[in-house]
Chain A
Amino acid sequence: MRRLLMLISLAGIAATTAGCLTLMPVSSQVDRSADFTRYHTYDWGPADALPATDVRLGENPFFVDDVHGAIDTELTRRGLVRASAERADLLVHYHAAVTGRVEVEPRQSTRGPVQGQLQRDCVGDDCVPRVTGYEAGTLVIDIVDTASGRLVWRGWAEHRLEDMLDDPTLVHRRVHDAVRRVFERLPLAAITEPGGAAREGIR
Chain B
Amino acid sequence: MNPKRLLALGVTTLAVTAFVACAPISVTSFTGRGVDPTAYRTFSWDTSDPGVPGDPRLDNNRFFHEYLRDAIDLQLAKRGYEPSGWQPDLRVHYHASSRQKIHVSGLDPATERCLDCAVEVYDAGTLLVDLTDARTGALVWRGAAEAGLAGVVDKQRQMEETIDRVVARIFAKLPSRS
Contacts and interface: CB of A to CB of B under 8 A. Distances in A.
B54 A103 contact: no
Contacts of A99: 54-56
B62 A12 contact: no
Given A5-B3, A122-B117, A29 B156 contact: yes
Given A10-B10, A12-B13, A97 B56 contact: yes
A178 to B, nearest CB: 14
A50 interface: yes
Nearest to A28: B156
B135 interface: no
Give the interface residue-count category, chain A. 35 or more
Contact of B102 (A9, A104, A140): A104
Interface stretch (A35-43, A149-157, A189-197): A149-157
Nearest to B51: A50
Interface stretch (A59-67, A123-131, A168-176): A123-131
A8 B121 contact: no
B121 A102 contact: yes
A29 B114 contact: no
B10 A12 contact: yes
Interface bin, chain B: 35 or more
B116 interface: yes
A27 B117 contact: no
Contacts of A97: 56, 59
Interface of B: 3, 6-7, 9-14, 16-17, 50-51, 54-57, 59-64, 100, 102, 104, 106-107, 111-121, 150-151, 153-156, 159
Given A101-B100, A102-B102, A120-B106, 6 more contacts: A6-B6, A12-B9, A121-B116, A127-B107, A127-B114, A131-B102
15 contacts: A5-B3, A9-B6, A9-B10, A10-B10, A11-B14, A13-B10, A16-B17, A49-B60, A120-B9, A120-B118, A124-B113, A129-B104, A131-B102, A140-B57, A156-B56
Q: Which 7 pairs between the two chains have the least Cβ-Cβ distance? A: A9-B10, A12-B13, A51-B56, A97-B56, A51-B59, A27-B154, A12-B14
